[in-house]
Amino acid sequence: MDQQQRTHKRHVPTALGHDHPGGVDATHAHAHADVWLSDVSAGYGERVALEHVTLAVEPGSLLAVVGPNGAGKSTMLKLMAGLLTPWTGRIEILGQPAGREARRVAYVPQAEMVDWAFPVTVEDVVMMGRFPRLGPIRRPGADDRRAVQSALVQVGMARHLRTQVGRLSGGQRRRVFLARALAAEPDLFLLDEPVTGIDPTTQELLMDLLEDQAKRGKTVVATTHDLACAAARFHQVLAVNRTVVAYGPSNLVLDADVLARAYGGHLLVLDGRTVVLDDAHHHDEAAPGERHFHDHDGSR
Amino acid sequence: MDLLLEPLALSFFVRALIASALVGVVCAVVGTYVVLRGVAFIGDAIAHAGFPGVVVAYLLGLPFYLGAAVAAVGTALAIGFVTRRAAIRQDTVIGVLFAGTFAFGVFLFSGISGYVADLFSFLFGNILAIGAEDLVALVVLGLGVLVAVAILWKELLYATFDPLGAAASGIRVDRLEYLFLALVALTIVVSIQAVGIILVVAMLVTPAATAQLLTARFTRLMLVAALVGISSSIAGLYLSYWLDVASGATIVLVQTALFILALALGPRGLLGRRRGHAEDADDQLMGMPAA
């Protein structure tokens, strides 16, 4: 996709205030959207995770997906990444059915999904971002090493090239995984809880880098628990709770009324600051054998 | 020196040396992924599943490798398919197939009278008896497995470390899974003549497990595993020749000894961990598992 088309922005259709989130003008946004879902329902085994999701995300968006535990945030990301096939509805990513343009998509899983004792160094992990474009047989070349080096410089991890990933702190691991995504040079970033459980410095750095990518016309979608971060650093917010509760500019979506709908009343508004109280019942339960795709939303 | 050169005058010893060295390398390379995926149990199951194939080939007068390959690859793909589609845990499926296929082999074999010696060689290997034709089949299959890993090592590594990230970036993780199981099956087929059905899991797991205690970097790990594999095959074969004992068991014992040595003295072993504080952050030979 050429840069001209990427920077051409249209009004983002939002579901704000609608009773039917599916009623947005999604078909018209379709041609220009990097992420487009039309009446999508999906789940694991018998369990519904998301239903009737209709959504269009424009190129250059910096979108936070928020919602309580088990609301379907990670499921939303997996649908966009083509990791989960929807039961019903249609999904188009970068203008093609989900999964077709996979080499232009970088997906970063939650930290808990990875075996950190694995014998790979920081350099090895970031180089994995280059594997899909290399294809089988070909070994990484000078271009790939340059891309890896540049990505590691951006996240401030260049000095740790040869360190085994298990010896990094939580924040450093997130930096390395973002570097892997940057090294892939994708048009769409899908990040599952990229700023959860990390220090403020790392959070600022990661958000600066993502904002920079969005400015260049790349699309960034990230799930988060951190409503303050969503409000301060993301441009758009998608509030979900089994379906789309609200979608629009972050300052509009993150008001108490909308959040109350997303979080089902588990909200505490203190002097203008919103505190979310998590309910144990919202922790989703995956059936045995589905642990791989379990929404690990973490707990507070 | 004569002690090393003297057996090389015997053509059966040379054939056995080539075969066991190649088996050592192939098992170590594929075994690196087996260990990192934590699927040693699958290897053991596939090995036992090869048994009925060997017996059927024997009964029908077909090449031994053909029967073993069909049975082992078939079981490997069945394990992959059933665990993907059915709501049963993988270890349960493997437990059922493991015992069931092996029992079928014993059932068939028990119909043949007076072949206990052959049964023993299937179960524990007899590399010194390998014929020229079998050696050719072994070399072709073994090199084939190595070529497949050389082509797909990056994709296998990515899919093993982060299956979700790999799948999202366009790597066909599901197809790779089947291919990997087929490679494990072929590796086992190649190894049956050398170490037999019962001991093959050691050939797969021990070199990579030893290497894990010595290095925390993937490419080095595979290299060290291959070195452990080939050196224990050669040392084990000579030892078994000098001592006039079973070669397969001797090779496995040499591997086990190297593993115990690495466990005791390696930088990531029992003693190494205590010295862990003095490590240089960039020295990948030292490393502690994640907390």
Higher pLDDT, B22 or B66: B22
pLDDT (mean) for A271-279: 54
Residues of A in contact with B89 (CB under 8 A): 288-289
| CA-CA-CA-CA dihedral for B99, B101, B102, B105, to nearest 10 | 150
Band of residue B128 on the pLDDT scale cut at 50, 70, 90 = confident
**Smallest Cα distance from B223 to chain A, Å:** 13
Cα–Cα distance between A168 and B263 in angstroms, integer? 24
Exposed, middle or buried by CB within 10 Å (0-12, 13-18, 19+), for A188? Answer: buried
> Is A119 in Cβ contact with B216 (below 8 Å)?
yes
Band of residue A278 on the pLDDT scale cut at 50, 70, 90 = low
All structural domains of chain B, each given as residue ranges with its CATH number in brackets, are 2-268 (1.10.3470.10)
Asked if this assembly's ipTM is beyond 0.85, the reply is: no
Residues of B in contact with A161 (CB under 8 A): 282
CA atoms within 13 A on the CB side of A58: 23
- Report A:160-219 residues touching B (Cβ under 8 A): 160-167, 180, 184, 190
pLDDT (mean) for A192-215: 93
Cα–Cα distance between B253 and B260 in angstroms, integer? 10
All structural domains of chain A, each given as residue ranges with its CATH number in brackets, are 3-293 (3.40.50.300)
Q: Percentage of residues in chain A with pLDDT exceeding 70?
A: 77
> Is B165 in Cβ contact with A128 (below 8 Å)?
yes
Higher pLDDT, A287 or B13: B13
> Is A132 in Cβ contact with B170 (below 8 Å)?
yes
Cα–Cα distance between B146 and B164 in angstroms, integer? 26
- Mean pLDDT for chain B overall: 86
> Is A134 in Cβ contact with B151 (below 8 Å)?
no
**Partner residue opposite B169 with nearest CB, options A120, A132, A137:** A132
Residues of B in contact with A158 (CB under 8 A): none
Q: Percentage of residues in chain A with pLDDT exceeding 90?
A: 58
pLDDT given at position A5: 43
Higher pLDDT, B258 or A33: B258
> Is B161 in Cβ contact with A136 (below 8 Å)?
no
Alpha carbon distances (Å) from A285 to A79, A143, A193, A269, A292: 19, 44, 19, 29, 12
pLDDT (mean) for A164-185: 94
pLDDT given at position B157: 95
**CA dihedral sign, ordered B202, B205, B211, B214:** negative
Residues of B in contact with A117 (CB under 8 A): 289-290
pLDDT (mean) for A238-260: 83
**Partner residue opposite A83 with nearest CB, options B164, B281, B288:** B164
pLDDT (mean) for B77-87: 80
> Is A184 in Cβ contact with B284 (below 8 Å)?
no
Please list the helix, strand and coil fractions of chain A in percent, rounded to the nearest 5, in that order. Answer: 40, 25, 40
> Is A289 in Cβ contact with B87 (below 8 Å)?
yes
Band of residue B42 on the pLDDT scale cut at 50, 70, 90 = confident
Per-residue pLDDT at A284 exceeds 50:
no
**Partner residue opposite B165 with nearest CB, options A45, A109, A288:** A109
Which segment of A79-88, A269-278, B128-137, B147-156 scores lowest on mean pLDDT? A269-278
Residue type at B137 in one-letter notation: A
User: Which residue of A118, A139, A152, A165 to mutate against B (max B Cβ within 10 Å)?
Assistant: A118
pLDDT (mean) for B235-251: 94
Show the tokens assigned to A103. Answer: 């080499």
Per-residue pLDDT at A94 exceeds 60:
yes
pLDDT (mean) for B200-218: 93
